Amino acid sequence: MTNQEKRKNIAILFGGRSVEHEISIITGLQLIKAIDTEKYCPIPVYIAPNGKWYLGDKLLDRNFYKNMPKSLSSVHEVVLLPIPDIGGLAVLQANANALPNPESYKGKDIIAIDLYFPAFHGSYGEDGCIQGLFELANIPYVGSDVLSSSIGMSKYHCKKLVEAHGISVLPSILISKEEIQKNLGHNLANVRSKILKTKDFDKFPLFIKPATLGSSIGIAKAIDEPSLDAALVQAAKYDTAVIIEPCLDNKIEINVSVLDQGEITASVVEIPVAAAGGELTYEDKYMRGGSKKSGDLSQSGMANLARIIDPQDLDPSIKSLAQENAVKAYKAIGCSAAVVRIDFMLDLNSNTLYFNEINLLPGSLAFYLWVKSNPQMLYTDMITKLIEQAEARHILKLSTLREIGFKALFK
């Protein structure tokens, strides 16, 4: 048996039904480019905005996505069935030239997959939905489980959990989309009044964002009542709930990555830099600089963001606190077989470090932070460690008793 035949088939899933769709494509293609191809055979699996799954080598070309939906006819349409022990992807509609590798076939209609590596951002991929499908199919996968993913995706509930574990967070209010819609005819006066009468929310500016999205989509800073109304309506376009927080007037953002490599460890910290010196925007994160002409994916996505890694003028005690709280939050949320990025805000007026949010699948999987850590970890090695941890977790789950036979039914 050759080395090529011994390789494990790793399905890299990206795209998905989320407004962060294109960011997931960038993350997925970066991951495929970085994976150790001596050990693994990466199988690109693209989930289109309509929810259909596709497989084929043509998915590796960024121009493929410019020519959709026409280009979709050149790849397989596949699906993961929620049935234990099938393991692979069932072919719904085959294309003779779309198969990524002949060794991938398990049978006539099943493409064999040894492990699934989701590279989604946002709804239906980062929030526990796809993880639930993996669990039903009883297959190994990289990343946190259903419960941890769901908690981590909800900014409000995640903050309440980490706060209960002694980590400082800013106060927040959760407003449902239904409440915003119900009050639209009254210029949101009722909702606005409820917010402004709440302790810590009686003065502007206030920060408004969708409760379960990332990539700075739908966020806004409200500086007065009209802008608050507009921000609530804007955020509600993207989510079923909106979170409101006080806006610190003198702060810096501090990010740190946490990785499960048998031991939970934290990377060096970074300070991301916004173009206008304020809050980071979608454009700051994904469209500044980069390598559009060269097509260099290593400098796309969050890897393209201007940042100061391991800033030398940042108080060492703040760095240590960010790393300690990041590891503590990772454990409190219950993450496993995962790399995450945790974002903090440092209030420069009070020197207080606040947990802001956890990014369960950060752009570029935060490899840029681990390259600068001590000891250094390259992106390829990180991917290998995550796959190994996912396999170990799956073996542990298999040891759990799931059946006790029929007893009560025939009593």
Nearest to 52 by CA among 24, 72, 70, 32: 72
In the chain, what is the straight-line distance between the N-terminal and C-terminal CA atoms, in Å?
Answer: 53
Place of tokens 């191809």: 37
What's the CA gap between 393 and 36, in Å, rounded? Answer: 21
Distances from the Cα of 331 to the Cαs of 179, 206, 325, 326, in angstroms? 34, 30, 10, 9
All structural domains of the chain: 3-141 (3.40.50.20), 152-167+250-397 (3.30.470.20), 173-246 (3.30.1490.20)
- The pTM score is 0.87
Asked if 339 and 260 count as a contact pair (C-beta separation under 8 A), the reply is yes
398-411 pLDDT, tens digit per residue, is: 998 888 888 888 87
299-356 pLDDT, tens digit per residue, is: 554 555 688 999 999 999 999 999 999 999 999 999 999 999 999 999 999 999 999 9
**Residue 294: pLDDT above 90?**
no
Residue % of the chain over a pLDDT of 90: 71
β partners of residue 175: 242
**Residue 149: pLDDT above 50?**
yes
| Torsional sign, CA 18, 274, 304, 316 | negative
